[in-house]
Structure 1
Amino acid sequence: MTIGKQSVRTFINGKIFTSNPEQPYANAMIVRDGKIVWIGEQSDLENIEGDCVDLSGNRVLPGFIDAHLHPLWLANASTQIACTPPLVNSIADLIEQIRNLSTSNKSDKWIEGWGYDEGKLSEGRAPARWDLDEATTDIPIFITRTCTHIAVVNSKALELAGITKNTPDPQGGKIDRDSNGEPTGILRENAKDLVQRMLPAKSLEENAESLAQLSTMLFAHGITAITDLMSKSKPIDYFDIYHAAIKKGLKQRTVLYYLWEDLKEQPILGPDKIKRENQIHIGGIKLFSDGSISGKTAWVNPPFLDEEENYGIQMTTKEELLAAAKAAEQNSIQLVVHAMGEQAIDLIVDTFYGKKGWLIDGPSIRIEHAAMPTSRAIQRAAETGIAFVTQPIFVFAEIESYLKNLGSERTKQTYPIRSMLKSGIKVAFSSDAPATAWADPVNPFVGIMSFVTRLAYDGSDTGQDQRVDLTTAIMLYTKAAQEITRIPHIGQLSIGNHADFIVLDQDIFEMNLEKINTVLVKQTYMGGNLVFQR
């Protein structure tokens, strides 16, 4: 075949997996003005025009789409204490890290950290205010747990927030207290907001610069499209932050999902902001139905292991879900609800069961995480067209907490991906980075490995009957993620789509499944242009 003279680039000699079920494999493709105009066997090419790029026999995949991510938070986490192995393996290590930072903290700014998981700490418990006070009582400290649903603060932070023995628990939150009723510094769900709202806000320019710098790191992991599942309209509108980040170098195609709390007070949606062809657009409204399994705030049934009265925390109501859904429908965007426990998932599924969706080109309702759906919930979600966006890295990285909180058999039943797919539910993989106890939380290859093996990082069995094959796992990070995020013209290497793809250093299809986490991205292309090279 031949092609007219335009901005043309021909890629040859690649082992291309396309994520297109109708043409899963190819070894050559032609890109004109950033889009694929031909893909197939190199032997069918009559001549090569334009630039020619030899892919050197390397494995090629479509660019990954992280359907549930927190990019701004991930970018800013680089300036905080990483409370994960190998840096922090104990509360004593954490105290030492805070002390080191406090001695160089001349301006008495807040000290922040992220990622602690008591299951990985040698003391076998979460840090409390008195532990943090050993590091400093003069500078306020705010440390977020791995799940991001819980924080621990020191006495100075409690003082600044006005939290005392007499402070009531906020709705949807819990202030942990000792036997005398004194706050321990551990704040669950909405209770952490009592302190978090006092943290110094970064400027629009600072946030935009952080996102621009993150762009290269995401490309290094093969991620060409992203989402922000905690977008806010105040104090600075995330829409403005991300647009400023583009000018500074952010290249990923990006969908923002705004918190319902922000949108119901100040609607900011409009046709220009929801246009999906734009690099940055608003794709949905986000609510929380519960918390996390590892933090024991997921709304479960039966209760957590050895805690007969602890069913977790319910964080929304049927009335709020219906109000948010009405706003989503009016703006032709998705309703996106965080839910991990059985009761949290049931609330969403039962609220919308049998109701017709309002979007025709994708799911109107998404359940994020969907860790513990019952077989009834799976069937009803399938019948209603509700999609599940899940994170295989959770049980892989947080196995200690899962086993402690659920027990071995119940842990193996979490994230029943095979059952979801068999029922017909649309499912996408994602990372939720940095909200997991892994030093490299955004790495798609770790997530893929964890669900094709159903083994945790320590070798624990996480449920062999729910393994998925490698082809399916890659499709859930590409084609399926596109169908759920609704970003147009990506997710498959097929004619008419953007030429967003990655070149790997190893052939992921010809290696030991338990070594997939060692795969590295050699090159990342967007629109046929090289944007990253290792």
Structure 2
Amino acid sequence: MKTIFINGRFFTSNPYQPYADTMIVEKGKITWIGEGSCLETTEGNVMNLQGKRVLPGFVDAHMHAFMLAETLTQIACTPPEVNSIAEMLCKISQRRAEQKEYQWILGWGFDEGKVKEKRLPTRWELDRICPDVPVVITRSCAHVCIVNSLALELAGIDNNTPNPDGGTIDRNKDGELTGVLREDAAMSLVTALKPPASFEHNCKLMADLSVELSRYGITSVTEMMSSHGFYELFHAARQKGFRQKTVLYYLWDAIVKNPEMPAVYLDTDQPIFIGGVKLFADGSITGKTAWVSPSYLGSNEEFGLSITSREAMNDACSYASKMGLQVSVHAMGEQAIQLTASVFSEKNSWLKNGPSFRLEHASLSSQEVLKLASSSNIALLPQPIFFYAEIEGYLSNLGIERTRLSYPIKSMLEKKVPVCLSSDAPATAWAVPHNPFVGLKAAVTRKAYDGTDIGKEERINIEEAIILYTKSAAEICRLPSTGMLAPGYCADFIVLDRDILEVPEDEIDLLSVDETFIDGEMVYQHRKV
């Protein structure tokens, strides 16, 4: 049965037909869109949109969907819930009193720039509140965690344990462990010991997440730290109610251990597929593990960490070319970005339905790198929510001038670089890190949440920002017939409470979604009757 959506204010993300007021949907696809006055009488269900703004569903081209689902059950260590280490310790104490005798306590989103003490907690503080079960508090960037003494003991980490390659185990001036672990090489020494949840439990987490994503108009997602078993998990979660189209990016280390992938897992016409392999060239700016040059503010010797090698990137490219996959590399600092762009530019693209190369974050990209990305068809995936939400860390680690040069999205567009917006949720210091409206506001205003000017020269307009979060994101992820409202495309769209093209820029983050549709079916409605 056809459904005719009338009296809408459609922004389609389609450059050939950006606006419309009527759309026809049948069997999950858009069959017609345009001005209702041009439409001949047709039978079908009629839905009156009451003059509300309609957009394509958001495509989050860089997020960690499973990690985000896990955080919904963990202690939120971000404002407004937590504004000091003391408040965080109180939350941990409460959780310990509520849970079973021996369960790990997990928290996420801590940012020392946002708490009263302006520092990371220590293992001794965690021990005072909770000495008898392991505690792991993940920093907002997800590249640093703080653990208690029991967790260190279980991992066999002591004062004599050397730093692993690509990671750091922090010590104080007396050589004692502080409980701070930086980058996965160090963090995984502890986190790998966490008892795994059941498959059924994880499927339910994903089904619950689907509702939360729909609430914010997100109709397609990525999982950027997948490994073997993730395809099966997402496929099973879909049977339990997970609705979002999903692209999985498998960690290169996992592929090296087991390179086999069934061909059906790579089929981009399916609602869930493996889209690429992922490596890390460095860490995070606010965690001071991004591989930068010049050094971090206030030091002539702190340049962060180089995590992968040119050889590993070359091997990943060879494998991806053979398998028909993308290569994705996390790179935030200048040195990491330059290395990654250099490796990519030496290769010939092998994919026809999207970019072969993805450079994730591209935080401190030079104009030279932008030219290289344009000429070599290297997709750049910046997250403006970072400087919006984590301005304290950017200013303390980079300074204001360098911060204003970060994430040069307007320059990327001007140089015709393949680019899109995304959230990297949950890896940012914001209470709702997956909220697309925050990223849109940051890209349009170039202001942090506290009003700090982050380089107005790189502002883009709201229409450009929406296209980057829909059409461009789908193209970079190789999601077919997704990201635009056009004939033949999936009927993934959202209805807003206010008109995003008319509200003041400073109010973009206050917008909410009234209804979300995936494949023509309403999957979310605000204030259901």
Give the alignment's TM-score, normalised by structure 2.
Answer: 0.98
- Say yes or no: does 1:245 pair with 2:243: no
Rounded to whole Å, the distance in 2 between the matches of 1:116 and 1:35 is 42
Q: Give CA deviations for 1:325-378 in whole Å, capped at 9, x if unaligned.
A: 111111101000100000000011111224211101110010111100111111
Rounded to whole Å, the distance in 2 between the matches of 1:379 and 1:433 is 28
Residue 531 of structure 1 deviates from its aligned partner by: 1.3
What does residue 117 of structure 2 align with? 123
- Say yes or no: does 1:203 pair with 2:195: no
What does residue 226 of structure 1 align with? 221
Residue 106 of structure 1 deviates from its aligned partner by: 3.0
Give the one of 433, 437, 451 matched to 1:441: 433
- Look up the equivalent residue of 2:423 and give its one-letter code: S
Residue 424 of structure 1 deviates from its aligned partner by: 1.2
**What SS does structure 1 have at the residue aligned with 2:101?**
coil
Q: Give CA deviations for 1:214-265 in whole Å, capped at 9, x if unaligned.
A: 11111110001111001011xxx11111111011100111111000010111
**What SS does structure 1 have at the residue aligned with 2:420?**
strand
Rounded to whole Å, the distance in 2 between the matches of 1:97 and 1:252 is 32
- Say yes or no: does 1:109 pair with 2:103: yes
- Say yes or no: does 1:365 pair with 2:357: yes
Rounded to whole Å, the distance in 1 between the matches of 2:397 and 2:4 is 53
What does residue 45 of structure 2 align with? 51
Rounded to whole Å, the distance in 2 between the matches of 1:135 and 1:458 is 33
What does residue 26 of structure 2 align with? 32
- Look up the equivalent residue of 1:161 and give its one-letter code: A
Q: Give CA deviations for 1:75-112 in whole Å, capped at 9, x if unaligned.
A: 11111110001111111111111111122333221111
Q: Is the 8 A contact 1:95 1:134 kept in 2?
A: no
**What SS does structure 2 have at the residue aligned with 1:305?**
coil
Q: Is the 8 A contact 1:354 1:383 kept in 2?
A: no
Give the one of 245, 257, 260 matched to 2:249: 257
What does residue 497 of structure 1 align with? 489
What does residue 188 of structure 2 align with? 193
- Say yes or no: does 1:510 pair with 2:502: yes
What does residue 162 of structure 2 align with? 168
What does residue 4 of structure 1 align with? none
Rounded to whole Å, the distance in 2 between the matches of 1:442 and 1:78 is 12
- Say yes or no: does 1:456 pair with 2:451: no
Q: What is the aligned residue count?
A: 525
Rounded to whole Å, the distance in 1 between the matches of 2:91 and 2:29 is 48
Rounded to whole Å, the distance in 2 between the matches of 1:525 and 1:491 is 13
Rounded to whole Å, the distance in 2 between the matches of 1:80 and 1:93 is 15
What does residue 302 of structure 1 align with? 294
Give the one of 60, 67, 83 matched to 2:77: 83
**What SS does structure 2 have at the residue aligned with 1:309?**
coil
Q: Give CA deviations for 1:465-522 in whole Å, capped at 9, x if unaligned.
A: 1111100000000010011001111111011101111000000111100000111100
- Say yes or no: does 1:184 pair with 2:178: yes
Rounded to whole Å, the distance in 2 between the matches of 1:36 and 1:152 is 49
Rounded to whole Å, the distance in 1 between the matches of 2:246 and 2:345 is 30
Give the one of 380, 384, 387 matched to 2:379: 387
What does residue 388 of structure 2 align with? 396
Residue 193 of structure 1 deviates from its aligned partner by: 1.0
What does residue 374 of structure 1 align with? 366
- Look up the equivalent residue of 2:212 and give its one-letter code: M
Q: Give CA deviations for 1:179-233 in whole Å, capped at 9, x if unaligned.
A: 1211110000021111110111111111111000111111110001111001011
- Look up the equivalent residue of 1:491 and give its one-letter code: G
Rounded to whole Å, the distance in 1 between the matches of 2:502 and 2:98 is 49
Give the one of 513, 522, 525 matched to 1:530: 522
Which contiguous aligned blocks of 4+ residues in structure 1 show a shift greater than 4 angstroms?
Answer: none
Rounded to whole Å, the distance in 2 between the matches of 1:203 and 1:284 is 26
**What SS does structure 1 have at the residue aligned with 2:495?**
strand
What does residue 317 of structure 2 align with? 325
- Look up the equivalent residue of 1:466 and give its one-letter code: E
Structure 1: 5+ residue stretches without partners = 1-6
Rounded to whole Å, the distance in 1 between the matches of 2:48 and 2:34 is 15
Give the one of 7, 10, 15 matched to 2:9: 15
Matches within 5 A, 1:270-309: 270-309=262-301
- Look up the equivalent residue of 1:467 and give its one-letter code: R
Q: Is the 8 A contact 1:454 1:467 kept in 2?
A: yes
Coordinate RMSD, CA, aligned:
0.9
**What SS does structure 1 have at the residue aligned with 2:501?**
helix
Rounded to whole Å, the distance in 1 between the matches of 2:410 and 2:33 is 31
Structure 2: 5+ residue stretches without partners = none
Rounded to whole Å, the distance in 1 between the matches of 2:85 and 2:120 is 8
What does residue 424 of structure 1 align with? 416
After superposing the two structures, state which structure 1 stretch, 28-37 or 222-231, moved more: 28-37
- Say yes or no: does 1:351 pair with 2:312: no
Q: Give CA deviations for 1:22-55 in whole Å, capped at 9, x if unaligned.
A: 0000000111211111111000112131111111
**What SS does structure 1 have at the residue aligned with 2:131?**
coil
Q: Is the 8 A contact 1:215 1:249 kept in 2?
A: yes
Give the alignment's TM-score, normalised by structure 1.
Answer: 0.97
After superposing the two structures, state which structure 1 stretch, 370-379 or 314-323, moved more: 370-379
Matches within 5 A, 1:122-141: 122-141=116-135
After superposing the two structures, state which structure 1 stretch, 263-272 or 330-339, moved more: 263-272
**What SS does structure 1 have at the residue aligned with 2:278?**
strand
**What SS does structure 2 have at the residue aligned with 1:335?**
strand
What does residue 211 of structure 2 align with? 216
Q: Give CA deviations for 1:282-337 in whole Å, capped at 9, x if unaligned.
A: 00001000000010000000000001100000000000000011111111010001
Rounded to whole Å, the distance in 1 between the matches of 2:112 and 2:124 is 16
Q: Give CA deviations for 1:262-281 in whole Å, capped at 9, x if unaligned.
A: 01111232220000111111
**What SS does structure 2 have at the residue aligned with 1:162?**
coil
**What SS does structure 2 have at the residue aligned with 1:509?**
coil
